[in-house]
Amino acid sequence: MHLSSVQLACALLTLALAAAGAPPAAAPHHVARRSFFNLQCKGVYDAAIFARLDRICDDCYNLFREAQLYTLCRQDCFTTEYFKGCVEVLQEQDQLELFKTYIKQLHGADPGI
Average pLDDT, the chain: 77
The domain made up of 44-113 has a fold known as Crustacean CHH/MIH/GIH neurohormone (1.10.2010)
- Kindly state the percentage of the chain with pLDDT values over 70: 68
Higher-confidence position of 105 and 34: 105
Give the pLDDT confidence of 25-75 residue by residue, as tens digits: 333 444 455 676 577 788 999 999 999 999 999 999 999 999 899 999 999
Residues present in the chain in total: 113
pTM confidence score? 0.68
Which amino acid type is present at position 16?
A: A
Burial (CB < 10 A; 0-12, 13-18, 19+), residue 79, is buried
Which amino acid type is present at position 46?
A: D
Q: Three-state DSSP class for 12?
A: helix
* Contact criterion met (CB below 8 Å) for 53 and 103: yes
Higher-confidence position of 79 and 7: 79
